[in-house]
Amino acid sequence: MRAYYFDNQPGDQRLPHDYDPSRPVDVDTLNKIGVLYWRVPVEDYRSQIDAIAAERDYKNRDTINVTKEGLGDQYEAKIKSFFEEHMHEDEEIRYILAGSGYFDVREQTTDEWIRIAVVPGDLLVLPAGIYHRFTLDTENKIQAMRLFKEEPKWTPLNRGAETDANQHRIDYRAYNMMEFKVEELIQA
């Protein structure tokens, strides 16, 4: 996993979009906005993923293959929908089994995009209510295990006035602002 601020330059969303020089983001910064990360090597991953799933109460899982071949005629529409800025009312949990791509998450205090490049062995948890999006990189393929607390579902709520008023978004913002105020107190 490598995280950095997205450069917001026009062009192919599948390119790195990194500043020059890069503006890296560390795991502590991701944690402050509620994003969790584990490195779990793909070789013999099951016991570690099972332990994390039990600890975090993830009861269900499936595997998604995002490729042109796998999605067929739906490929372009799916890639476009994944890259629309949205949130979910549940955590989004992804363990990368093969391929690579980018998760972009909004930093709460600045509203800047943080790009998270994921590769096999990366386990990422995005909190309910965080605005984010996903895209493949130029390899155009990823296989990921999706973990869920309840029945598998993936319902994106695109950013707008209605989602800003969603209780999960309000709860996320309140949590994030509380973390920001604690950090201010520690630095004072």
pTM here is 0.92
Q: Is 83 helix (H, G, I), strand (E, B) or coil?
A: helix
Q: Would you state the pLDDT for residue 97?
A: 98
Is the pLDDT confidence value at 178 over 70?
Answer: no
Instruction: Identify the pLDDT of residue 151.
Output: 82
How many angstroms separate the Cα of 119 from the Cα of each of 69, 98, 122, 142, 160? Answer: 20, 7, 6, 9, 31
CA separation for the pair 9, 19 (Å, rounded): 9
Which residue did the predictor score with more confidence, 70 or 119? 119
Radius of gyration of the CA atoms of the chain, in A: 16
User: Max CA-CA distance within the chain?
Assistant: 55
